[in-house]
Structure 1
Amino acid sequence: MNQTKTSMAAAILALLGTSGLAAKPATPTAPIHYDADHKTFRIDAGKITYAFGVNDDGILQTLYWGSRLAPDDAVGNATPPKSRSAFDAIGANTPQEYAGWGGPITVMPDLKAHFADGNRDLILRYQNYKIDDGGLQVTLGDKAAKVSVILRYVADPATGIIGRSARIENHATQVMTLDRVAAASWNLPAATDYSLRYLTGTWAAEWHVRTRPLTPGATDLESRRGSTGDENNPWFAIERGGHWNESQGHVWFGALGWSGSWNIHIDQDVLNQVRITGGFNPFDFSYRLQPGEGLDTPVFYAGYTDDGIGEASRLMHRFEIARILPEGPKPKLRPVLYNSWEATEFKVNEPEQERLAEKAASLGVERFVIDDGWFGARNSDKAGLGDWVVNREKFPNGLKPLIDKVHGLKMSFGLWVEPEMVNPDSDLYRQHPDWVLNFQDRQRSLGRNQMVLNLARQDVRDYVFNALDKLLTENDIQFLKWDYNRNWSEPGWPQVAPEEQQKVYVTYVQNLYDIMRRLRERHPGVEIESCSGGGGRVDLGIMGLTDEVWPSDNTDPSDRLSIQDGFSYAYTPAVMMAWVTGSPNWVNKRNSSLDFRFLSSMQGGLGIGANILEWTPAEDATARSYVEAYKGIRATVQQGLLYRLLSPQERAPYSATESVAADGSQAVLFAFLRQGQEAQAYPTIHLQGLDASSRYRYRTIHGTVAPGTPAVASGAYWMSHGIDLGLRSDFDAAAVVFDRVNGDR
């Protein structure tokens, strides 16, 4: 791990104190100013200004969040709105930065608590502030209840994205029980033309983009599953006006950095003000703080642009690459990967894996990964989980001979693991049946023939860490595909007092982060992929400790166009793995050409998961050609600026994306036709993001362009005149590279 680089999450949490994330040195962020005369705070970062102040009642109140203002522009004073009626008092309508549930408040609070003496009233008033290179710290408190809330603000100067979190501290002599804890609230000005965009899905059908008008009332996006979940993802975008699109419109957007149960509550009040509150899911939540104890929240990140939802995505991508990923601001490019699951499933053995490795290396693959089936009594999904020892029947001499073989073929080596789970048919469960999430003397539900280990327990946390540490110490492994294949059930923790058991929702995730952090410190060369039956655990928390993610188990190249498109709204292609698998596809039995499969997968981190031993020499040659071509464009694809040109959402027949290198030297266009209709021509593609005055030469990886297309033309030409592609038949595709001519800048 690069110890000189600090993620936004780590910068905040290091200053707050305790966290499962690494406490690295703080990274300087955008300047933050305090105006003592008006009691206002102002953050100017990227192209935004964010301002809030202290009103006459001592409440921290949002003043402005939008396009950047001039340095001498006033942001106003914190003045609560007038009382609308006895039913809508001032406290109910004031856009608070962080509200306690107390006094005349009817909006969803950030913090709700009750005390041993029966008090449930909590009013958080301003106490003091501190500004340093790590950001802004504002302390609120209820002096009578002896509670402090320390708010942290860190702003990225490049993108204007702000990370906010809170620490709640109990300074009383009695127990304080937290019933609801948010990381932050974001307030938007009063308007009646807002719409909400969010992501929904299920297994093999993740990342559907949904849009709905915001009207008075509330919308909850959440997971109650114990992990992030794919039913909703912890990301939102709110657009204003009826004319927004990929390139224009006011967009406020954000994402929660938490890998457990979460909630984002979006409310429009009687004054048409919109408030977005995000943090721990309050469902089944209770967290007791003894006198002197505190709790840190996740980080809630958010940004703004007036250049449309496409620019919102590009800002998120830049931010994630530079400030979230553990190797940022210049993370390694994702290597071309081969995974052996589709070829062997559980029938793993050393000779077969060696044959696959030889074939993969001949195609230009750079990383070879053994999937499930290499350990314990793992011949199906009914046994072996939890026993992280090499199966000596399959690998008589351990993994070393195969690893040496893979390294000799100039590839890195990786393994599949699912360390948070256990099968009832395993040595681990037979020895420690109490180690799983359970309620005493109640049923223990199975999912995929397995149960969830209670990682909140210190002994379980230590076992998981030690097992993986031993595996990595004894074997020269460069990569772990970290899977997580079921949701929680019976989330009990019988070993602690009943009133403490609901801490499991927080402590589990903190310990998960701690395990990953310590493994990275002990084995700095090892990279980790986050996988959860597909895209069930993708969020800015887990991304701070992993190098790539698995968006979906669905590898059908046509379905993947929509899945990858939806993924890109919130997360960068730099971490998005995409595999070329067999045809017909195992999900839907759909047939597609090897060309279509490769081009669909080349929009992210390219992997191959097909049984390559069955490929013909012609297919080998095709694959080898695409792998070589991909290596020449992957920096642009993975870490460039993404433009969504034609949307595949709602089963649209067309899809087109363009990636532009950060320095403008290259652009890569991918275009797909799912279904040709009535001999209609494919839409003319107008590129975006090029330097208008530079000249670019095009070359095709696959597909044809219209006769008469100039070999070299200006960026203005490619963006204004566009390019016509010869896509006509079902599941047709093209890839075109535009390289800036030498001498042009």
Structure 2
Amino acid sequence: MSVRYIESKKTFLLQTKNSTYQMKVSDYGYLLHLYYGERLEDEDLSYLIQLQDRGFSPNPNEAGNDRTFSLDFLPQEFSSDGSCDYRLSSIEVKNGDGSYAFVGKAAKHEIYAGKYSLEGLPSLWAADQDRVDTLEIWLTDPATQLTAVLCYSVFEEKDIITRAVKVINESEETIYLNRIMSMTMDFMDSDYDFIHFDGRHTMEREWSRNPLAYGIQNVGSFRGASSHQHNPFAILCERGASEDDGRCYGFSFVYSGNFMCKVEKDQYDQTRIVMGIHPKHFSYQLKPGERFTAPEVVLAYSGKGLTHLTHLYHRVYRENLCKSPYVRKERPILINSWEAAYFDFDEAKLLEIAKEAVDMGVELFVLDDGWFGNRNDDNAALGDWDVNTAKLPRGLGGLSEDIHEMGLNFGLWIEPEMVSENSELYRKHPDWCLQMPRRQPSRGRYQLVLDLSREDVRDYIVTSINSVLDSARIEYVKWDMNRFITDAWSAIVEKEKQGEIYHRYILGLYDIMNRIILTHPEILFCGCSGGGGRFDPGMLYYQPQIWCSDNTDAVCRLKIQYGTTFVYPVSAMESHVSVCPNHQTGRTVPLETRGITAMDGILGYELDSTKLTEEEKRICRQQVEAYKRNYPLIVYGDYYRLTNPYTFSEYVAWEHVSRNRDEALISLVLTEKEANDAQRYVKAKGLNPQMQYQVDGMEGSLSGQALMSAGLPVPGKLMQYEAVQYHIKAL
């Protein structure tokens, strides 16, 4: 098995194809971390634990006068709280006696074949061909009988280890869980860079890389969603690590709500990283016998740089995360009505847009916001999921029928988690939204958030949305969420449990998605939260693709998509061609460039097809044909970032390479242009050095070695924001 316990050494050994993870039960019962990195064969790494007397680092009582044993500097798997460790803690508990402490000791363990499960939470699952083994270790506090069960699953061939924690109150008193990290990892050195992905609405997942400094670096969200501002993914890599070289560690949180990732460089030049639910406004009551399940963190290690780390995540998230059958199907080319019409449409206008889109090669027409209730702007009708017959007199069924007669499939926008104050639902059930007593609620986009912790609210949403989906032939749904959570207070939850609302909201959302999305496998669901405000693995468990950003500017998208690709596969990024001047930035970019940029994801269109010229429709049709021709390569191939737009300004380039390395597609957008500028070259990656390749538009052949070492010339005639693609095929 890929998981073993060596009784004589009291060590646990986790082995993937290329990595080793090792930990040890100390003499006093504490679980210490030994190693995570390049694969080692059956070596006992206990010697890495070096004990010495550290001044002002206290010692546990059972150590007696052994001043060399202190949790203040020893590497741990799950750090204690309220005892001898002053660093970041894995857990914070208020015990029944009012004390704040958890000191867990290894009580027992279990090793079994297969993947652990997490009740009510999305997580990776094992496919039939996967070899997966699981280790569970019970850490029990002898004083309180509170237990943390550490869960590890090893995807041996995919080089992935997952971690999660289950907290069980085995005492006779009620306790409050105020902090729970799903993963803690200690490193005995600190010469690392911290890479994370920041941003804002319309500019998500911007790459940020900084060296570790003494103290704590922190990213996270307490907005009720994973957020535009920070993504629940981080990398620790050694200084100097590049796309192709260096040790890199990835940490990806499978959760859609509040999260925190903290990294601490301590006084002894050691590093601790923790990841889990954000502790702000979090306090979970556990009565005797009750348990809490924390979400999963997906770990990956690469000794070959950032690109290899990316490949590990792309593969496992394509194959072991999403439950939708569409993850294995070719996605349709769609046109969305939002930037074409916004709220100003009727049935005739929609049918005109769909009819003209047929000539572009489009396969799916999506009706965005404004089709229901009294919804003529964003101030009303959310929650009233009845068709606006003034706009659609024959309802969704009639419109869908006409769309299908054109040879197109039909899709729809919904925002089921929200309610407008100007709505029949709010007038009937004002207590169904999150709002605090004695306070007027804050608003976002002039809407409030429904209390998904309530079963009656969830039942209403499920019944309403399923009724809509069953009312017409609908093959696609865009599931939106256009404001974050404030006023997190529920009218039916007792005051001692109000600190559970943020998490209960997410559990409620997952329950709703189980009952809507997973019961409609024939529908392709696309996630959205003002674009990329909830672009996380928890959402990808249900929806195979997510609207990458509300920003459709092709040049801005270069950075947005660059950051996204570090962990999320191309198959997850929905990306559209829109009109120019762009609606968000006013920038004008050639239509060909907009198409090439959007092909770095799931291609679609966000424009009014009735306003395109015949030449523009011809270009769009060519884009669709090229995309469909290269679809297996783009969506299932290995992804390479050839340039970093934050450190190299002349052009942005990326590459898709088939798994057997016989085909590649390089895309390049010129982002800066000077008169009489230097000749530039773009170098391929991932090819077979010994194979001969034909490059479209070039005579003769070139070896993979030449394409990777010497490269291909960037055409000097390219103007700023123009783009080019190189299709490379083995002979």
| TM-score, with length taken from structure 1 | 0.91
Counterpart of 1:706? Answer: none
Distance 2:416 2:141 in 1: 42
Counterpart of 1:729? Answer: 719
Q: Answer whether contact 1:264 1:277 (CA < 8 A) is retained.
A: yes
Select between 261-270 and 645-654 the one with higher mean Cα deviation.
645-654
User: Which ranges of structure 1 fall in alignment gaps of 5 or more residues?
Assistant: 1-29, 701-708
Distance 2:535 2:163 in 1: 19
Of the three residues 15, 28, 53, the one matched with 1:44 is 15
Distance 2:315 2:677 in 1: 37
Post-superposition CA distance 1:595-653 (Å, at most 9, x none) = 11111111111110011110001111111111101101122112211111122226823
Counterpart of 1:55? Answer: 26
Q: Answer whether contact 2:324 2:542 (CA < 8 A) is retained.
A: no
Distance 1:254 1:281 in 2: 15
Select between 246-255 and 349-358 the one with higher mean Cα deviation.
349-358
Counterpart of 1:236? Answer: 234
Of the three residues 3, 19, 33, the one matched with 2:4 is 33
SS of residue paired to 2:617 = helix
Question: What displacement does 1:154 show?
Answer: 1.0
Of the three residues 478, 486, 489, the one matched with 1:489 is 486
Counterpart of 1:683? Answer: 680
Q: Answer whether contact 1:385 1:426 (CA < 8 A) is retained.
A: yes
Q: Answer whether contact 1:322 1:328 (CA < 8 A) is retained.
A: no
Distance 1:540 1:267 in 2: 25
SS of residue paired to 2:328 = coil
Q: Answer whether contact 1:198 1:235 (CA < 8 A) is retained.
A: yes
Question: What displacement does 1:223 show?
Answer: 0.2
Q: Answer whether contact 1:40 1:77 (CA < 8 A) is retained.
A: no
Paired letter, 1:251: C
Q: Answer whether contact 1:321 1:329 (CA < 8 A) is retained.
A: no
Distance 2:364 2:45 in 1: 53
Counterpart of 1:109? Answer: 89
Q: Answer whether contact 1:39 1:53 (CA < 8 A) is retained.
A: yes
Of the three residues 687, 697, 702, the one matched with 1:713 is 702
For the pair 1:213 / 2:220, whether they are aligned, the reply is no
Aligned positions, number: 701
Of the three residues 607, 612, 627, the one matched with 1:610 is 607
Distance 1:218 1:283 in 2: 17
Post-superposition CA distance 1:36-82 (Å, at most 9, x none) = 11111111113111111111111111111001112x33332685743
Distance 2:188 2:334 in 1: 47
Q: Answer whether contact 2:326 2:524 (CA < 8 A) is retained.
A: no
Counterpart of 1:11? Answer: none
Distance 1:78 1:465 in 2: 54
Counterpart of 2:573? Answer: 576
Paired letter, 1:693: Q
Counterpart of 2:651? Answer: 654
Structure 1 residues 76 and 116: alpha-carbon distance in aligned structure 2, compared to 1, 3 A threshold: closer
For the pair 1:508 / 2:505, whether they are aligned, the reply is yes
Q: Answer whether contact 1:53 1:77 (CA < 8 A) is retained.
A: no
Distance 1:429 1:497 in 2: 22
Select between 576-585 and 456-465 the one with higher mean Cα deviation.
456-465
Counterpart of 2:125? Answer: none
Counterpart of 1:153? Answer: 152
Q: Answer whether contact 1:376 1:390 (CA < 8 A) is retained.
A: yes
Structure 1 residues 472 and 395: alpha-carbon distance in aligned structure 2, compared to 1, 3 A threshold: same
Distance 1:349 1:64 in 2: 62
Paired letter, 2:98: G
Post-superposition CA distance 1:117-146 (Å, at most 9, x none) = 222222100011111112111111113312
Counterpart of 1:227? Answer: 225
Counterpart of 1:640? Answer: 637
Distance 2:102 2:637 in 1: 47
Post-superposition CA distance 1:151-201 (Å, at most 9, x none) = 11112223312110011011112111011111111222223x211111110
Paired letter, 2:433: V
Distance 1:740 1:384 in 2: 56
1:348-387, aligned counterparts within 5 Å? 348-387=345-384
For the pair 1:619 / 2:616, whether they are aligned, the reply is yes
Q: Answer whether contact 2:75 2:188 (CA < 8 A) is retained.
A: no
Of the three residues 710, 718, 739, the one matched with 2:729 is 739
RMSD over aligned CA atoms reads 1.7
Counterpart of 2:46? Answer: 76
Counterpart of 1:100? Answer: 80
Counterpart of 1:85? Answer: 55
Distance 2:46 2:402 in 1: 67
SS of residue paired to 2:708 = helix
Counterpart of 1:27? Answer: none
Distance 2:648 2:402 in 1: 44
Distance 1:329 1:605 in 2: 12
After TM superposition, where is structure 1 displaced by more than 3 Å over at least 4 residues in a row?
77-81, 327-330
Structure 1 residues 711 and 348: alpha-carbon distance in aligned structure 2, compared to 1, 3 A threshold: farther
Question: What displacement does 1:294 show?
Answer: 0.6
Paired letter, 2:710: H
Identical aligned residues as a percent: 32
Distance 1:323 1:341 in 2: 32
Paired letter, 1:633: N
For the pair 1:314 / 2:281, whether they are aligned, the reply is no
Of the three residues 474, 478, 483, the one matched with 2:475 is 478
Structure 1 residues 375 and 80: alpha-carbon distance in aligned structure 2, compared to 1, 3 A threshold: farther
User: Which ranges of structure 2 fall in alignment gaps of 5 or more residues?
Assistant: 60-69, 115-133
Q: Answer whether contact 1:666 1:739 (CA < 8 A) is retained.
A: yes
Counterpart of 1:253? Answer: 250
Question: What displacement does 1:693 show?
Answer: 2.4
Q: Answer whether contact 1:183 1:279 (CA < 8 A) is retained.
A: yes
Question: What displacement does 1:88 show?
Answer: 5.9
Question: What displacement does 1:407 show?
Answer: 2.5
SS of residue paired to 1:117 = coil
Distance 1:476 1:341 in 2: 20
Of the three residues 444, 451, 456, the one matched with 2:453 is 456
For the pair 1:518 / 2:515, whether they are aligned, the reply is yes
| TM-score, with length taken from structure 2 | 0.93
Question: What displacement does 1:461 show?
Answer: 1.3
Structure 1 residues 164 and 35: alpha-carbon distance in aligned structure 2, compared to 1, 3 A threshold: same
Question: What displacement does 1:514 show?
Answer: 1.3
Distance 1:360 1:324 in 2: 33
Paired letter, 2:714: L
Paired letter, 1:45: T
Paired letter, 2:97: D
Q: Answer whether contact 1:645 1:657 (CA < 8 A) is retained.
A: yes
Post-superposition CA distance 1:673-705 (Å, at most 9, x none) = 0221132245211111112222222226xxxxx
SS of residue paired to 2:712 = coil
Q: Answer whether contact 1:81 1:93 (CA < 8 A) is retained.
A: no
Post-superposition CA distance 1:299-330 (Å, at most 9, x none) = 01111111111221222111211111224896
SS of residue paired to 1:518 = helix
1:263-282, aligned counterparts within 5 Å? 263-282=260-279
Counterpart of 1:24? Answer: none
Counterpart of 2:176? Answer: 177
For the pair 1:347 / 2:344, whether they are aligned, the reply is yes
Q: Answer whether contact 1:55 1:78 (CA < 8 A) is retained.
A: no
